[in-house]
Amino acid sequence: MDGDHRTAGAPGDDLVVTGVSKRFGGVPALSQVSVTIKAGTVHALIGENGAGKSTLGKIISGVIEPDEGSVVLGGAPLHMRSPREAMAHGIVTIAQELAIVPSLSVAENVYLGAEVATGGFVRRREARRRFRELAQRVGFDLQPDVPAGALSTADKQKVEIMRALSRNASFVVMDEPSAALSSHETAALHHIIRSLTAQGTAVILISHFLSEVLSLSDTITTLRDGHLIRTVEASGATEDSLIEGMLGRSLSAAFPDKTPAPPDAPVVLDVSHLCAPKVEDCSFVLHCGEILGIAGLVGAGRSELARAILRDARSSAGSVRLDGQELAGHSPRRAIRRGLVLIPESRKEMGLLMGRSVRENISLSRLDLVSRAGWVARLRERREVAALMSKTTVKAADMGLPATMLSGGNQQKLLFARSVMCAPTVLIADEPTRGVDVGSKRAIYDLLVQMAQDGMGIIVISSELEEVLGLAHRVLVMRHGRISAELTGPDMTEGAVLAAAFAETSAS
Amino acid sequence: MTRHTMSNVAPPTDLEAVASGTRASRLMQSWRMAGIFIPFLILFIVLSITSSAFLHTANLINILDQQASTLCIAAAGTLVLVAGGIDLSVGSTYALAGVTAGQIGQHHSIFIAIAVALAIGLLVGLVNGVVVTVFKISPLITTLAMSYVIEGLALKITAGNLILTGNIPGFTTFATATFLSVPSAVWMTAVFVVVLALLLSRTTFGRYVVAAGGNAEAARLAGVRVGGIKITTFVLSGLAAALGGVIDASRLGSILANSGGAGLSFTVLAGIVVGGTSIAGGEGSGWRTAIGVLFIALIGNGFDLLGVDPNWQQIVLGLILLVAVGLDMWTRRARR
Ligand SMILES: Nc1ncnc2c1ncn2[C@@H]1O[C@H](COP(=O)(O)OP(=O)(O)OP(=O)(O)O)[C@@H](O)[C@H]1O
Ligand SMILES: [Mg+2]
């Protein structure tokens, strides 16, 4: 397929969304939303989790059809029944929930649906050449031939971005493209977005990072509960005004006050000389009531360290002592029973049962709490789950809804609710707020701080530097599988973390 | 532009209304929920009207009696499928258990005969489960291979001869003794099916089965013993196959090393799938499996009663299977 087959719209035409509404079952996800996306601009969509941003993005890119209203390009309403048809109009999308075929190679995934082929035969060498060119242009370091399933979440995100870019679109919908990227990859992405607009492509950017939104976009549309609140010029907006529009109230601060653990707090987790694939000789302690941040580049081994602490790495040496006792065994189950809980980095692949209900997803780890002799007490389960949902601000019309039907941020909160139910002594949260809106982020932060004050030890792994610095009492920086720096108190600065994360390796 | 307040959250709607979207997706949803019940009811009513012989207690009990073994095996097979596995060895396990019970029953008490037969089923299931989870060989291949091994063993034991069980005192009574004029085979099956269906829908074990089949890695990280759960489903399946074999050996008075076989394995699978359980794992229900099996049985019974060419049965069954699997795929895709 190529761009010349457009049936409507010429380069330079604006994309006009008029009065679209979408209901899922009885629940409205979008009501009468109208926006105009000018060619060659960055148009941001912001709003709380479940506000309808992805739904609007999906309507624009033909993934779902609106119940009412239409999408107009160059004066002609588009009738798109599939992403493929949208692509023919020059509209492509990068989905929030990654759509990667794990068994296909990286290059095959990038050209999926638009294979480089002659007469039905895929021209592999040509595809690889184009892939290299594209990778160079966008500055991503990806091998074309490895199976995409083996990639980290961030690399999968890059594959999605490359897929969209390979289609030479005039409108690109990016649904939280930077959620899984580290800071320098995010910088690369921003560069790409700017160069796209310079070439006349419009980018519809959905993001929860308001600084990103403010620095990149020309126009910002705020949605709340499916309604359009306002569309403003980015130059006239501030973070506070955007938050006010999203939440309907202002947020005093992004982070709660820090209350560091007393210096004599007992050690709850003692990791010494831990080695595992991608983890080399890591040692540190965690105290009761302490929030320990782990920063580093994507691929520095942070998630692998988390898995190794859980004793879930295939081969690992060293010791992990929880409450003074060696954590034996090799299963997450053992760790959970001992009070060590992990929120994994990828909610779709490692966290949720996507087809199952909110209720089942939340109670999965601690069904024993809501059952007697193996028999699930449904009423007790409902009550318990409802309490956890409000505690972690999960927004779902019904706890019987399957996880797929929740917005991305709310899916993330399900994992949080599940781990709160485990009442752990140590919680390792790997990217705990990926895709979560500012208001709910604050709710999760408050919850983390509260749990720490109650004596829990918490490890926060995050690619968001602000999050690590804003929450943690102490920060470890990882590089190439090793802990390259430990920062406390006034040393915890963005500069110090970046220096430790990037520093050239002299030895090793 | 519409103004509105934060309190304007969607009112709590009834689950099904929310879960369903467009009219088409609501239709699909109800296929999952009510699933096979509606076609079953329609077929039942049609047969009651068109055939005078159909709606007689004797005919209905006879259908249940004939389907007893299939119902037991399919009830357990549902758990295997939901946990993300598949068991193609049930047909031969059924035969091996049947002939073993018959052989041992010639010389020993029928208690020992039945106990050994069930133990064999359990063992087969254990081997299946361990090979699948520990050696990570696909369940399709594992159980296919096992089915040859088991059938070979059964042939070896019987030297290919018909094993007569009708002459063993007490053995026939096992499945044919009647209580309230319903044979014990039907009673046992009813208990077995209800227990397994409740196990899947209402217990923690059932939740873990669903989790293991829905997303094994997520389940493992959430603290579910995925391996153990999968092995347990295979053990239950083996046990059910053996029970089915013993019931039929007792009911029919004779059994062969190659009764059951692939034919039975596929009939069981067909019943489960027609019942709406997904072959991809992660969802399913024991109740619907029972109805699915009976639905297929009704088609056979109805065709017999109406004197339709039996070849049509095969064709119709095949088409129904395609529709069932097609609907499953459709609902899955629609949810993406
Ligand atoms: N397939 C679906 N079926 C039913 N409801 C859905 C479906 N997809 C989305 N919804 C509902 O529609 C609403 C809007 O969802 P949407 O994904 O657009 O939110 P969002 O603004 O992208 O949120 P987030 O920031 O969390 O990604 C939510 O309440 C969600 O639960
Ligand atoms: Mg979204």
Collapsed DSSP state (helix, strand, coil) of residue A120? coil
Spatial CA neighbour of B257 closest among B161, B126, B145, B140: B161
Report the C-alpha gap between A500 and B171 in whole angstroms.
78
Q: How much of chain B, in percent, has pLDDT values that exceed 90? A: 63
Collapsed DSSP state (helix, strand, coil) of residue A438? helix
pLDDT the model gives residue A180: 74
Find out whether B251 and B68 touch, Cβ atoms under 8 Å.
yes
The answer as to whether B1 is a domain residue is no
Strand ranges (E), A311-404: 317-322, 325-326, 340-343, 371-372, 375-376
Q: Which band of pLDDT confidence, cut at 50, 70 and 90, is reported for residue B279?
A: confident
Q: Which band of pLDDT confidence, cut at 50, 70 and 90, is reported for residue A97?
A: low
Beta strand A426-430 with A317-322 is unpaired
Determine, for residues B221 and A400 on separate chains, whether the beta-carbon distance falls below 8 Å: no
pLDDT tens track for A214-257? 999 999 999 999 999 999 999 999 988 999 888 888 777 788 88
pLDDT the model gives residue A263: 81
- Please work out whether the CB of residue A207 comes within 6 Å of at least one atom of ligand 1: no
- Please work out whether the CB of residue A49 comes within 6 Å of at least one atom of ligand 1: yes
Residue A64 touches chain B, beta carbons under 8 Å = no
Determine, for residues A27 and B218 on separate chains, whether the beta-carbon distance falls below 8 Å: no
The answer as to whether B32 is a domain residue is no
Task: Let me know how long chain B is.
Answer: 336
Q: Where are the alpha helices (DSSP H) in A236-299?
A: 239-247
pLDDT the model gives residue A120: 67
Determine, for residues A355 and B224 on separate chains, whether the beta-carbon distance falls below 8 Å: no
Collapsed DSSP state (helix, strand, coil) of residue A178? coil
**Closest ligand to the CA of A402:** 1
User: DSSP for B161-202?
Assistant: PPEE-TTSTTTTHHHH-EETTEEHHHHHHHHHHHHHHHHHHH
Which atom of ligand 1 is closest in space to residue B18's alpha carbon? 4
The answer as to whether B42 is a domain residue is no
CB pairs under 8 A between A and B: 131
pLDDT the model gives residue B15: 33
pLDDT tens track for B221-246? 999 999 999 999 999 999 999 999 99
Q: Any bridge partners for residue A343, and if so which?
A: A429
Nearest to B214 among A356, A397, A400 (CB): A356
pLDDT the model gives residue B317: 83
A107 to chain B, closest Cα gap in Å: 23
Which residue lies with its CA nearest to atom 10 of ligand 1?
Answer: A405
Report the C-alpha gap between B309 and B306 in whole angstroms.
9
| A 171-230 near B (Cβ less than 8 A) | 225, 227-230
pLDDT the model gives residue B295: 92
pLDDT tens track for A30-54? 999 999 999 999 999 999 988 999 9
Structure tokens at A444: 């999760």
A29: nearest CA in chain B?
B10
User: DSSP for A6-19?
Assistant: -SS--TTPPEEEEE
Collapsed DSSP state (helix, strand, coil) of residue A295? strand
Q: Which band of pLDDT confidence, cut at 50, 70 and 90, is reported for residue A79?
A: confident
Placement of tokens 């996306």 in the chain: A37
Residue A255 touches chain B, beta carbons under 8 Å = no
- For residue A481, give every residue at least 6 positions away whose Cβ sits within 8 Å of its Cβ, in sequence order, or none: A278, A279, A280, A282, A300, A301, A304, A305
Range A476-503 average pLDDT: 90
Which residue lies with its CA nearest to atom 3 of ligand 1?
Answer: A405
Provide the sign of the torsion angle of the four alpha carbons B34, B37, B41, B42, taken in this order. positive
Find out whether A82 and A26 touch, Cβ atoms under 8 Å.
no
pLDDT the model gives residue B34: 62
**Closest ligand to the CA of A407:** 1
Residue A118: in which H helix or E strand, if any? strand A117-118
Q: How much of chain A, in percent, has pLDDT values that exceed 70? A: 95
A19: nearest CA in chain B?
B1
- Please work out whether the CB of residue A57 comes within 6 Å of at least one atom of ligand 1: no
Task: Let me know how long chain A is.
Answer: 508
The answer as to whether B22 is a domain residue is no
- For residue B303, give every residue at least 6 positions away whose Cβ sits within 8 Å of its Cβ, in sequence order, or none: B310, B312, B313
Find out whether A107 and A123 touch, Cβ atoms under 8 Å.
no
Q: How far is CA B121 from CA A243, B134, B246, in A?
A: 63, 20, 11
Question: What mean pLDDT value characterizes chain A?
Answer: 87
pLDDT tens track for A429-477? 999 888 888 888 888 898 899 999 989 999 999 988 889 999 999 999 9
Report the C-alpha gap between A410 and A327 in whole angstroms.
32
Predicted confidence (pLDDT) at residue B4 exceeds the cutoff of 50: no
Interface test with A, best of B203, B209, B215 (most A CBs within 10 A): B215
pLDDT tens track for B172-185? 999 989 999 999 99
Q: Which band of pLDDT confidence, cut at 50, 70 and 90, is reported for residue A200?
A: confident
- For residue A421, give every residue at least 6 positions away whose Cβ sits within 8 Å of its Cβ, in sequence order, or none: A362, A363, A365, A366, A369, A384, A388
Report the C-alpha gap between B312 and A101 in whole angstroms.
41
Ligand 1 pocket test target in A17, A23, A48, A54 with most atoms within 8 Å of CB: A54
CATH number of the domain residue B253 falls in: 1.10.3470
Find out whether A175 and A53 touch, Cβ atoms under 8 Å.
yes
Q: How much of chain A, in percent, has pLDDT values that exceed 90? A: 43
Beta strand A91-94 with A171-175 is parallel
Q: How far is CA B63 from the centre of its chain?
A: 16
Which residue lies with its CA nearest to atom 8 of ligand 1?
Answer: A405
Predicted confidence (pLDDT) at residue A5 exceeds the cutoff of 70: no
SS (H, E, C) B30-95: HHHHCCCHHHHHHHHHHHHHHCCCCCCHHHHHHHHHHHHHHHHHHHHHHHHHHCCCCCCCHHHHHH
pLDDT tens track for B73-114? 999 999 999 999 999 999 999 999 999 999 999 989 999 999
Q: Which domain holds residue B296?
A: 58-335
Spatial CA neighbour of A469 closest among A496, A442, A504, A444: A496
pLDDT the model gives residue A118: 67
Nearest to B18 among A26, A355, A376 (CB): A26
Report the C-alpha gap between A357 and A398 in whole angstroms.
9
Determine, for residues A333 and B211 on separate chains, whether the beta-carbon distance falls below 8 Å: no
Find out whether B13 and A398 touch, Cβ atoms under 8 Å.
yes
Ligand 1 pocket test target in A404, A407, A441 with most atoms within 8 Å of CB: A407
Counting the structural domains of chain B, the total is 1
Q: B61-78 burial by CB neighbour count: b if 16+ within 10 A, else e?
A: eebbbbbbbbbbbbbbbb
The answer as to whether B50 is a domain residue is no
Q: How many CB atoms lie within 10 A of CB A92?
A: 24
Which atom of ligand 1 is closest in space to residue A56's alpha carbon? 18
- Please work out whether the CB of residue A47 comes within 6 Å of at least one atom of ligand 1: yes
Placement of tokens 């929930």 in the chain: A97
Instruction: ipTM value, please give it.
Output: 0.82
The answer as to whether B330 is a domain residue is yes
pLDDT tens track for A139-195? 778 888 888 888 877 788 788 888 888 887 889 999 988 887 777 778 878 888 888
**Closest ligand to the CA of A51:** 1
Q: How far is CA B168 from CA A247, B103, B107, B207, in A?
A: 79, 10, 9, 43
The answer as to whether B44 is a domain residue is no
Q: Which band of pLDDT confidence, cut at 50, 70 and 90, is reported for residue A498?
A: confident
pLDDT the model gives residue A505: 47
pLDDT the model gives residue B33: 57
Range B298-323 average pLDDT: 85
- A157 Cα–ligand 2 center, Å: 15
B190 versus A313: the higher-pLDDT residue is: B190
Which residue lies with its CA nearest to atom 12 of ligand 1?
Answer: A29
The answer as to whether B49 is a domain residue is no
Report the C-alpha gap between A268 and A323 in whole angstroms.
5
Find out whether A48 and A246 touch, Cβ atoms under 8 Å.
yes
User: DSSP for B89-156?
Assistant: -HHHHHHHHHHHHHHHHHHS-HHHHHHHHHHHHHHHHHHHHHHHHHS---HHHHHHHHHHHHHHHHHH
Which atom of ligand 1 is closest in space to residue B19's alpha carbon? 4
Q: Any bridge partners for residue A121, and if so which?
A: A118
pLDDT the model gives residue B28: 52
Predicted confidence (pLDDT) at residue A483 exceeds the cutoff of 80: yes
Beta strand A117-118 with A291-296 is unpaired
Q: A410-438 burial by CB neighbour count: b if 16+ within 10 A, else e?
A: bbbbbbbbbbbbbebbbbbbbbbbbbbbb
Which atom of ligand 1 is closest in space to residue A64's alpha carbon? 1
A20: nearest CA in chain B?
B1
Structure tokens at B96: 């091996």
Side-chain-facing half-sphere of B202: CA atoms under 13 Å: 12
A99 versus B198: the higher-pLDDT residue is: B198
Q: How far is CA B154 from CA B99, B107, B250, in A?
A: 7, 18, 17
- For residue A362, give every residue at least 6 positions away whose Cβ sits within 8 Å of its Cβ, in sequence order, or none: A385, A388, A389, A399, A414, A417, A418, A421
Find out whether A353 and B83 touch, Cβ atoms under 8 Å.
no
Spatial CA neighbour of A318 closest among A269, A351, A374: A269
Which atom of ligand 1 is closest in space to residue A25's alpha carbon? 4
